[in-house]
């Protein structure tokens, strides 16, 4: 061929979990497991949708007959080491296909007698060796049995070798395979990502192995406990770079690097243009401090000698904690000092802190099987706040766990369809069951209960137990109870530390049962009672969960005449009081709200609104918690209130209640709007406080939609200025999402068309997302209908963005019926072209039906289901059932509450 290739060799350091690769202008090899769900941070720019779907109910599977029909590997063979060579082709072949070829030799030892070798292999074409798919040899004295036959099992992703005689227990063998696969743009296994630089198309070969895609890259024992040493060789064009988990033997051209005291090499990788624009600087700045924080917190040194982090143009999850080579979507790693918002920056910090936490917890020590995923993900989702707080101590970021994890998961875990954190190993087998484990319960409830445990045991005790666990099981695998054992041991050895039950007993209540309790405190009698909290009082659960609350957890604060429980909001439960105490708390809020901490104020609001939804307290009592907001300046309580009031807006924005609601909220938000106007010197400065910046967004967004004087004029003038000089956007990045939306909502075709031009011209992904969501805010029906048509035209809206754009339109009260008609009319086309294999397809149904609250809409929904049974609903099937259920519940709630709510808003808005 005449082209020069050079070979770089990468020795996988230590015992690595299963693994693989990336390549091109950037090429990376990555090992280990895990993907991050993108979190919604600081409101704007959330292109990634976060699924809150529930696993489907378990069915009892019939026991498969043959070993290769089981999804789990037999326990007869264990891998020791792999030599893997991969050669991705970054140019298409004559058929326009991108391919990779590879060679693998895996040494494994036999621990139980067997005449079968079963190893994972998926979508790989295996080369024939003398009529078989693989070659087998013995290691040392061992003689390999001859192969009788080999075959592939498509369903369970196996390559099977039937041997003529048995492998010897204690002996080791080498299995050789040669294979070819497609370097597809499917974001799974070894895959292709593309981008354009200076008009030239660039191709990156990269990897996503978690959870079950390593087998799509090379034949391997693709289970988390099958750890092995990897030696990886990547063949690539000169002028391209190869990266792997371990240090390269050859050295390349680091774009950025720095050294820590023990000469740890830290590098950030991305598109050349992004690095040149210094978009990697922020990530580079925070990585060192975050690693140092964890070394101290875990009392264990970083297990590798280098840390690479790479931003990829195409990436499915938020990030993936490959050991020593973490992969990210661009918005989770790249910070542009001019274009990025405060929310973008916070997301970068927390995602990095999350991934780096996994370098020890998850990679160095790995859970035995996917049923314990909640411990891995819950843990990283908790300590990410600690790591981020160390890197950015002025942000008070630890408080935000209340909004982004605790309240978020309360909403899901209060449903009858929730499930316990812990699953039995036998319940999780198929790739689909494994991917269902990556849900809000695992991440956010896991984080909430671990935070509760840490606060209960105290942080030093918790960290000491962790350190002991990590040091004991380094390079090995565990089950979740191993962590409890090590914590218990530290408790035992800590003088003066007494806990009422073992760590085991306490945690079982929260991990083995679904849901959480509402604790009721009656200050007249001093009684404390608890029961399983269910949002829908009519929902039925077989056996309501029983929780044991160690007294310290209820930890209450008392004022002269009031009691507030769950002081640090560390307990994973809601609190209800007798009416007199509620009244006293409300009066405290109205007279001296700062007597309570910020998170307690947010908690009172969230508890009250949810207790009212569950009919435990009166709706008007919940609404009364929002009265003091006229004096509130902090973000977390405001955000908590606005999230709860959002339900009222959705239920009533097409009814006469809305006029009164608008007057009330206008009155409440006005002082906040004025406050920000003052502290920003008439909107010329950025607030200094981190969360003040978020609350400024709330102030402007709500003030404009509620009609506060001066708000609309302000945003219109900003947008006008931008339209007049498109190269000088005067709108601060923090405010863009809100300002674009309001300006388009109150503008016409001119404003819309300008946004469209800017959208088509945008070079920063997050800027394009802001504009795409803002264009859905227009109130002009024909513009909305035209935009709906655009969503199904891939030359206008990228295919991956179609359904989320329709959801943005449905979020708009004028757009909702148009989007519903559009989706009904085109269901079969949408389903066929956008529904198959899509993770977030169910969000389309959720999004469109959010406002449904009339009998008529319920009938329409049922008819839609009937009319399209022959087409099907794919991954939106469950969402459709839930939509019918939720609409039914909404109808009931509106019927019961509408008159009271109208009366209350009317009285309170004058
Ligand atoms: C793997 O590679 C190493 C060094 O490159 C070599 O010593 C070893 O024999 C190889 N193992 C197998 C099973 O091919
Ligand atoms: C694998 O083999 C099948 C059947 O020959 C062929 O259609 C397919 O294109 C091959 N795939 C790759 C990636 O080589
Ligand atoms: C990174 O740190 C340097 C040195 O402290 C600082 O000058 C620079 O502004 C930081 N960059 C970013 C994007 O935070
Ligand atoms: C940290 O680890 C060292 C050695 O592993 C041990 O001696 C020391 O006690 C540990 N410190 C804490 C606070 O656990
Ligand atoms: C409540 O929490 C505070 C702060 O953590 C602690 O100082 C206090 O001792 C706790 N009170 C009880 C009764 O546990
Ligand atoms: C809620 O309280 C108000 C006023 O105290 C009362 O008029 C109303 O009937 C109560 N509503 C419910 C549902 O109990
Ligand atoms: C803000 O504007 C008002 C009136 O337009 C003016 O009186 C005031 O001085 C301005 N404040 C600042 C800090 O510029
Ligand atoms: C549109 O993008 C091109 C290329 O990036 C740039 O030269 C041009 O200035 C942009 N136009 C506007 C109005 O931003
Ligand atoms: Zn994670």
Q: Annotated catalytic residue: which of 182, 321, 346, 355?
A: 355
CA 426 from centre of chain: 25
Q: Which ligand does the CA of 570 lie closest to?
A: 5
Q: Please report where in the chains the tokens 């809150």 appear, as a residue.
A: 52
Q: Give the Å distance between the CA of 74 and the centre of ligand 7.
A: 75
- Does the Cβ of 126 fall within 6 Å of ligand 2? no
pLDDT band at residue 837, thresholds of 50, 70 and 90? low
DSSP for 7-62 reads: EEEEEPPSSB-SEEE-EESSB-EEES----PPP--SSS---S----PPPPPP-PPP
191-239: pLDDT as tens digits: 999 888 888 999 999 999 999 999 999 999 999 999 999 999 899 888 8
- 3-state SS of 606-628 is HHHHHHHHCCCCCHHHHHHCCHH
Q: Which ligand does the CA of 767 lie closest to?
A: 8
Q: Is 377 marked as a binding-site residue?
A: yes
Six token digits for residue 546: 């029983």
Rounded Cα distance, 375 and 384, in Å: 14
Please give the residue that has the higher pLDDT: either 671 or 188.
Answer: 671
Q: Is residue 502 over pLDDT 70?
A: yes
- Mean pLDDT computed over 41-48: 35
Q: Give the Å distance between the CA of 344 and the centre of ligand 5.
A: 35
pLDDT band at residue 357, thresholds of 50, 70 and 90? very high
- Does the Cβ of 854 fall within 6 Å of ligand 5? no
Mutate to test the pocket of ligand 4, among 296, 297, 459, 467 (most ligand atoms within 8 A of CB): 467
Percentage of the chain exceeding pLDDT 70: 90
pLDDT of residue 910: 81
- Mean pLDDT computed over 95-124: 97
CA 759 from centre of chain: 26
pLDDT of residue 885: 87
Q: Is 372 helix (H, G, I), strand (E, B) or coil?
A: helix
Among residues 878, 890, 888, 886, which one has the least CA distance to residue 439?
878
Pairing mode of beta strands 265-269, 306-312 = parallel
CA 297 from centre of chain: 24
Lowest mean pLDDT segment, chosen from 130-139, 166-175, 245-254, 269-278? 245-254
Q: Give the Å distance between the CA of 436 and the centre of ligand 9.
A: 14
Nearest atom in ligand 3 to 337's CA: 13
Q: Give the Å distance between the CA of 261 and the centre of ligand 3.
A: 19
Mutate to test the pocket of ligand 8, among 199, 721, 755, 761 (most ligand atoms within 8 A of CB): 761
pLDDT band at residue 554, thresholds of 50, 70 and 90? low
- Does the Cβ of 107 fall within 6 Å of ligand 1? yes
Cβ-contact 12, 31 below 8 angstroms: yes
- Does the Cβ of 180 fall within 6 Å of ligand 2? yes
Residue 384: CB partners within 8 Å, gap ≥ 6? 350, 351, 353, 354, 357
841-887: pLDDT as tens digits: 788 999 999 999 999 999 999 999 999 999 988 878 888 988 998 89
CA atoms within 13 A on the CB side of 116: 14
Q: Is 908 marked as a binding-site residue?
A: no
311-322: pLDDT as tens digits: 998 787 789 999
- Does the Cβ of 459 fall within 6 Å of ligand 5? no
Q: Is 354 marked as a binding-site residue?
A: yes
pLDDT of residue 553: 62
**Exposed, middle or buried, 230 (CB in 10 Å: 0-12/13-18/19+)?**
buried
pLDDT of residue 416: 86
| pTM greater than 0.85 (yes/no) | yes
Provide the 10 A C-beta neighbour count for residue 728.
Answer: 8
448-471: pLDDT as tens digits: 999 999 999 999 999 999 999 999
pLDDT of residue 537: 84
Is 560 among the catalytic positions? no
Mutate to test the pocket of ligand 6, among 583, 612, 620 (most ligand atoms within 8 A of CB): 620
- Residues with beta carbon inside 6 Å of ligand 7? 681-682
- Mean pLDDT computed over 560-572: 89
pLDDT band at residue 27, thresholds of 50, 70 and 90? very low
Residue nearest to atom 7 of ligand 8 (CA): 761
Residue nearest to atom 14 of ligand 4 (CA): 464
What does the mean pLDDT of the chain come to? 89
742-787: pLDDT as tens digits: 999 999 999 999 999 999 998 787 899 999 999 999 999 999 999 9
Residue nearest to atom 3 of ligand 5 (CA): 555
Six token digits for residue 531: 């029961």
Q: Give the Å distance between the CA of 620 and the centre of ligand 6.
A: 7
């Amino acid at each position: 061929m005449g082209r020069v290739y050079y070979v770089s060799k990468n020795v996988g350091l230590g015992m690595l979990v299963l693994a693989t690769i990336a390549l091109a202008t950037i090429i990376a090899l990555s090992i280990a497991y895990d993907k991050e769900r993108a979190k919604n941070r600081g409101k704007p720019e959330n292109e990634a949708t976060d699924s809150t779907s529930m696993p489907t109910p378990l069915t009892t599977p019939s026991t498969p007959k043959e070993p290769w029909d089981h999804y789990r590997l037999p326990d007869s063979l264990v891998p020791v080491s792999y030599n893997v060579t991969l050669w991705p082709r970054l140019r298409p072949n004559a058929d326009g296909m991108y391919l990779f070829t590879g060679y693998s030799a895996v040494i494994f030892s036999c621990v139980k007698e067997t005449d079968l070798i079963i190893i994972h292999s998926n979508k790989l074409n295996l080369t024939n060796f003398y009529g078989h798919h693989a070659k087998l040899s013995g290691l040392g004295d061992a003689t390999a049995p001859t192969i009788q036959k080999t075959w592939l099992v498509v369903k369970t992703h196996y390559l099977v070798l039937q041997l003529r005689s048995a492998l010897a227990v204690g002996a080791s063998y080498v299995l050789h395979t040669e294979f070819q696969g497609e370097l597809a743009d499917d974001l799974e296994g070894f895959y292709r990502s593309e981008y354009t630089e200076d008009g030239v198309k660039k191709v990156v070969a990269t990897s996503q192995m978690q959870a079950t895609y390593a087998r799509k890259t090379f034949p391997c024992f693709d289970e988390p406990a099958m750890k092995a040493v990897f030696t990886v060789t990547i063949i690539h064009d000169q002028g391209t770079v190869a990266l792997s988990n371990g240090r390269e033997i050859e050295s390349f051209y680091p774009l950025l690097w720095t050294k820590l005291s023990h000469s740890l090499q830290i590098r950030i990788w991305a598109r050349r243009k992004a690095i040149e624009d210094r978009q990697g600087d922020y990530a580079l700045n925070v990585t060192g401090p975050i690693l140092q924080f964890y070394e101290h917190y875990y009392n264990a040194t970083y297990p590798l000698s280098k840390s690479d982090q790479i931003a990829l143009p195409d990436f499915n999850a938020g990030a993936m904690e490959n050991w020593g080579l973490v992969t990210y979507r661009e918005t989770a790693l790249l910070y542009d000092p001019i274009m990025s918002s405060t929310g973008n920056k916070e997301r970068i910090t927390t995602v990095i802190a999350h991934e780096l936490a996994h370098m020890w917890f998850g990679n160095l020590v790995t859970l035995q099987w996917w049923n314990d995923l909640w411990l891995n993900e819950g843990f990283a989702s908790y300590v990410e706040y600690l790591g981020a707080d160390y890197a950015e101590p002025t942000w008070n970021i630890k408080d935000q766990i209340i909004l982004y994890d605790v309240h978020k998961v309360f909403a899901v875990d209060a449903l009858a369809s929730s499930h316990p954190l812990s699953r039995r190993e036998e319940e999780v087998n198929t790739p689909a069951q494994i991917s269902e484990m990556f849900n809000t319960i695992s991440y956010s409830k896991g984080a909430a209960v671990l935070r509760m445990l840490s606060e209960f045991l105290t942080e030093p005790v918790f960290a000491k137990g962790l350190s002991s666990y990590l040091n004991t099981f380094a390079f090995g695998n565990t089950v979740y109870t191993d962590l409890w054992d090590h914590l218990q041991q530290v408790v035992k050895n800590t003088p003066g530390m007494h806990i009422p039950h073992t760590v085991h007993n306490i945690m079982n209540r929260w991990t083995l049962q679904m849901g959480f309790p509402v604790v009721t405190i009656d200050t007249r009698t001093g009684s404390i009672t608890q029961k399983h909290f269910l949002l829908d009082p009519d929902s039925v659960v077989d056996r309501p969960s029983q929780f044991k609350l160690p007294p310290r957890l209820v930890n209450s604060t008392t004022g002269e005449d009031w009691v507030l429980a769950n002081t640090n909001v560390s307990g994973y439960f809601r609190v209800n009081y007798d009416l007199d105490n509620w009244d006293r708390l409300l009066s405290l809020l109205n007279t001296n709200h700062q007597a309570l901490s910020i998170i307690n104020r947010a908690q009172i609001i969230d508890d009250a609104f949810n207790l009212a939804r569950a009919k435990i307290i009166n709706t008007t009592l919940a609404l009364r918690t929002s009265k003091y907001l006229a004096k509130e300046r902090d973000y977390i309580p405001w955000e908590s209130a606005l999230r709860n009031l959002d339900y009222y807006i959705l239920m009533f924005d097409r009814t006469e209640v809305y006029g009164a609601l608008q007057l009330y909220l206008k009155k409440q938000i006005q002082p906040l709007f004025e406050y920000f106007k003052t502290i920003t010197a008439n909107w010329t400065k950025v607030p200094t406080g981190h969360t003040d910046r978020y609350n400024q967004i709330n102030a402007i967004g709500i003030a404009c939609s509620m009609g506060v004087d001066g708000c609309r004029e302000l945003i219109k003038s900003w947008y006008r200025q931008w339209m007049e000089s498109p190269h000088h956007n005067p709108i601060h990045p923090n405010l863009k999402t809100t300002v674009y939306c309001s300006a388009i909502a109150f503008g016409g075709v001119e404003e819309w068309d300008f946004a469209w031009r800017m959208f088509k011209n945008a070079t920063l992904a997050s800027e394009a997302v802001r504009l795409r969501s803002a264009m859905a805010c227009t109130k002009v029906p024909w513009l909305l209908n035209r935009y709906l048509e655009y969503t199904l035209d891939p030359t206008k809206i990228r295919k991956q963005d179609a359904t989320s754009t329709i959801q943005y339109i449905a979020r708009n009260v004028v757009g909702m019926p148009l989007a519903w008609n559009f989706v009904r009319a085109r269901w079969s086309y949408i389903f066929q072209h956008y529904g198959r294999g899509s993770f977030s397809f169910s969000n389309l149904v959720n999004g469109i039906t959010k406002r449904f609250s009339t009998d008529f809409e319920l009938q329409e929904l049922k008819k839609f289901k009937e009319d399209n049974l022959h087409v099907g609903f794919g991954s939106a099937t469950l969402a459709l059932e839930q939509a019918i259920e939720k609409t039914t519940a909404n109808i009931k709630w509106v019927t019961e509450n509408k008159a009271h709510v109208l009366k209350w808003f009317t009285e309170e808005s004058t």
